[in-house]
Every structure is written in C-alpha cells, then in structure tokens.
Amino acid sequence: MSAVESVAKTPMSSGFSQSNHPNNPRLQCITLSADALAQFESATQAWDLQAVEYKPFLRFAVANALDEACDGQLSPLLNDIMLNREQGAFLFNYLGTPQGDASDFHVKLSTAISHLIGVPNFDAMYGKFYARFTVRNKDESDSYLRQAHRRMELHNDGTYVDERTDFVLMMKMKEENMEGGDSLILHVDDWQDLDQFYNHPLAKQNIQWGSPPSKQVGYKVHHPIFFEEDKNGKPHMLFIDQFAEPQNMRQGLYLHQMGESLESEENCSNIEVPVGSMLVLQNHCWLHGRDKFVAHLGLERELLRQRGHFTAN
C-alpha cells in the first residue's frame, strides 16, 4: 500500500478531519471543526490585521493559536504532508462561520497555515507577506495572472526570483458570477513525459528568467528547469511558460515542447476551491494552473496568495 492509499478519513478528535480528495488521492483535504474555528477566532481576536502585518512574530502566535485549537496535532500533520513527496498538497477548509469580519479572518487563517509549515516570502507585487488580487471580466494587466477567459498554463511559482519558493498557498476570498475557473494541479511524478524531459541534455542547463513590470522584480535569474533533486533523488522543477527567456533555438524548442506536453497531460486534476478554502502545494513537485471561466460582466473573484520557504526540514 502506498503512502497515498494509506490515508483514510480520520474523525474530528483533534479539531479537524482528514481525507483524500476524490479527484486526486495525493491531495489531502483537511477540514477544521466549527469548535476549533471558534476557539481560533476567539484566541486571535485581540490582534487586528494591522498588528499581524506590522509584527512578524505575531504571525507565529496566530499559527500557534490554530495549532492549540487542534490539540497540537495540526502542525505535525501539515508538515508531514508537505515533506512527503507522495502527497505534498492539502486543501484546507473549515466548518462553521467566523463571527467577525470574514475577510480579516481569512487573512489570519491563511497566515496561521503558512506559519505552521514555514515562513512566507515578501510579495513584491503587493508589498506585504501576502498578496490579494481580483480577477474580473476584463483585465489590462501584463501577465495572465488576472485574465479570466483563458486557461492559465501549468507552472511552478518562484521561477523568476532569487529566493526559495518551497510552498504556494492560494486562498479564495470572494467569488461572484463565476462558472469554471477551477484550480488545475499536476504532480511531477504523474507527468507521463517526465522522463523524456528530465533525461534531455537541456534538463540541467541554465535558462534565463525575467518578469514583466507588474511583478516588481528588477533582475533576471538563471537556473535549469530541473534545478535540484529531493532527498530521494527525485526531481524538483521550476517552470513557467511566460517568464522563460530562451537564448537560442534549442532552448526555445525544448521549452515549447515542455509546455505542449504539460498542457496535454491527462493526469492533471481539476480542483474546486470554495470561498474560505485554501490550496497549499509543495511548489517544486506540483505544478498548478487555472481552468478558464465562462464570460460574465459581473464576474469577480478575489484571491489571496502566500509563497514561502519551509523551516521544518
């Protein structure tokens, strides 16, 4: 029995339950109980959002409050999931309803989760340790991030920055008039053409990466697609189609063929993320993207993201 299959649904004895996602058994569904939610909200209500933004150490106290609401069982579980290559992903949601401002509560809850597994990197686009942005029917921006009517191709985050991006957390804050737009995820080990690209002469050759002005990253970085191996010798990836800057025909065609292969991969899973839920991925063994939406003039979706590095390994 693999590590993926061995995880059965657990009862809510520690303030949460765990089960395999029906669309992809690697993905773990963690559901916080209403009681644990209330305990967490009560324990953190004295700390307003501005204090959490101004004082980095307070974010760890927020995280600890969530772990205490789960009898200290949540932190080890989330770290086990993230460090287990067979899983490396969870969808976190909750039962019950926050009593205070839902938006502020969601920032605190996502901050608790990110600080149980690591430390978020500074988000240069938003100027904080997290970013919030809205997808609308029309968008004039310079990347696909906020554009609705097209599929956002599978990619890793952190390709064009010089800091580690071990995890990516994506939370849905608000949604109106949406049809479609599920998250798309693919585990590197489920990519059927992996060997073809990993055993290619260009797999370990540096590629140049840059980003458009909105990302507020004023430099270029150089690294291979398969930039390192994990402790068991399996590949970690950093790939995104938009920001690779191939310098010759061989690199260009290698990247183009990789994009084509990923977009036609049938092992890619559609994951619906409800409002108030967050999808957290080990960023180097999972690729993520977004399915297209159905056009609607009142279409609006607000997302929160945190990207960071692990501290427990």
Stretch touching Fe ion by CB under 5 A, among 154-162, 210-218, 228-236, 251-259? 154-162
Residue showing the smallest CB distance to Fe ion in the complex: 157
CB of 153 to Fe ion, least distance (A): 10
Number of other CB atoms surrounding residue 197 within 10 Å: 21
- Min. distance of Cβ 168 from Fe ion in angstroms? 6
CB of 190 to Fe ion, least distance (A): 18
Give the other-Cβ count within 10 Å of 198's Cβ: 16
Q: Which is nearer to Fe ion, 36 or 287 (CB)?
A: 287
Which segments of 62-109 are extended strands (E)?
A: 89-94
Segment interacting with Fe ion, rule: CB under 5 A, options 25-33, 110-118, 155-163, 248-256: 155-163
CA–CA gap between residue 11 and residue 201 (Å, rounded): 49
Q: Which stretch binds Fe ion (CB under 5 A): 28-36, 76-84, 132-140, 156-164?
A: 156-164
Residue placing its CB nearer to Fe ion in the complex, 157 or 166: 157
Candidates 116-124, 151-159, 175-183, 264-272: pick the segment binding Fe ion (CB under 5 A): 151-159
Least distance in Å: CB of 288 to Fe ion?
6
Q: Decide whether 67 or 157 has the Cβ nearer to Fe ion.
A: 157
- What pairing do the DSSP bridges indicate for beta strands 152-155 and 286-290? antiparallel
* HSE-up (13 A, CA, CB side) for residue 89: 26
Outline where DSSP puts E strands in the chain: 16-21, 24-32, 89-94, 118-120, 131-136, 152-155, 167-176, 183-187, 207-209, 221-223, 228-229, 235-236, 269-271, 278-282, 286-290, 300-310
Report in angstroms how near the CB of residue 155 gets to Fe ion at its nearest: 6
Nearer to Fe ion, 47 or 212 (CB): 212
Site size for Fe ion (CB under 5 A): 1
157 binds Fe ion (CB under 5 A): yes
- The burial class, CB within 10 Å (0-12 / 13-18 / 19+), for 1 is exposed
Sign of the four-CA dihedral 141, 146, 149, 155:
positive
Provide the mask over 39-58, with x wherever binding to Fe ion is found by CB under 5 A and - wherever it is not: --------------------
Q: C-beta of 118: minimal distance to Fe ion in Å?
A: 17
| Structural element, H or E, at residue 259 | helix 249-263
Applying CB under 5 A, the residues found at the interface with Fe ion are 157
